[in-house]
Amino acid sequence: MKYLSLLFFLLIDVESFSQILPSLHGVYNVKKIPTNGQIVFFDFSSGESGYTLSGATATTDKNGNSNSAIEVDDATDRITGQFSDLLNDDFTVSIWAQLNSSQPMRKMWLISFGSASTNKAFHLGCRYDASLNGNYRVGSWNSNHATDDYLGNNYNWKHYVVTYDKSEEEYKFYVNNSLTHTQSNHSLTIDATDFVIGSQLGYNESWYGKIDEFGAWNRILTSQEITDLYNNY
């Protein structure tokens, strides 16, 4: 009887502990984040390392959690660092972002890595001007990379994923788990591990809003893995 009572209380304690675990940030993680081929994954929580903030500041994320996302609101703001490996083969990059409603009329970049030379850096962003209302730009540095897709006046959080097939020289661009653009015959030779989040290599053309959960992998993620990343947030 004594052992049965002890077992009963142990079961209660385990059940109670399992209920509070999800609320412990960084301790219990039920998110499905691919680890195979993962080069980096930043959730921008307080105390995280692996990058340097230049002008950019901590802010609330999509769910209202403080110090869990990054805000860039000046042309020189950026997040910089170096990947542990060179992304010069197949790769996938993923990022969450929200644009401020008072965005400037210029190019704004979310991701850039490699070196600031033609076809030796990848970048993702958009452009606003008199005729281009948030035209998404995906491709290599200093090359034609305009898509047929537009952000427009949409200020909700969005999930962006780009996969690159080295042998096929093909990009695929996903917005909120939907494939929106495919671009073929686009060669890319990454020759450096430098990365910039929230701006572009070699230019002061920062994003204007919030950024969260950036990841990079040295392979093409499956459609299910991309869906999982979208459903995580």
Q: What's the mean pLDDT in 4-21?
A: 41
For residue 42, give the H/E element and its range.
strand 38-42
pLDDT given at position 60: 96
- Model confidence at 103, pLDDT cuts 50, 70, 90, reads confident
**Cβ-contact 69, 212 below 8 angstroms:** yes
Q: What's the mean pLDDT in 157-169?
A: 97
**Cβ-contact 133, 153 below 8 angstroms:** yes
In the sheet with 121-128, reading across from the earlier edge strand, the strands are: 52-54, 78-82, 194-197, 107-114, 121-128, 133-140, 146-150
**Cβ-contact 195, 113 below 8 angstroms:** yes
Lowest mean pLDDT among 37-51, 138-152, 174-188: 138-152
DSSP state letters, 135-196: EEEEEETTS--EEEEE--S--S-EEEEEEEETTTTEEEEEETTEEEEEE-S--------EEE
18 pLDDT exceeds 50?
no
pLDDT tens per residue across span 85-98: 999 999 999 999 99
pLDDT tens per residue across span 22-76: 333 333 347 899 999 999 999 999 889 999 999 999 999 999 999 999 999 888 9
Strand partners, 200: 203
20 pLDDT exceeds 70?
no
Domains of the chain: residue spans and CATH: 37-232 (2.60.120.200)
6 pLDDT exceeds 50?
no
Q: Which of 118, 114, 136 is nearest to 127 (CA)?
A: 136
- Model confidence at 144, pLDDT cuts 50, 70, 90, reads low
- Residues 12, 13, 15, CA angle at the centre, nearest 5°? 65
Query: What's this model's pTM, rounded to 2 decimal places?
Result: 0.85
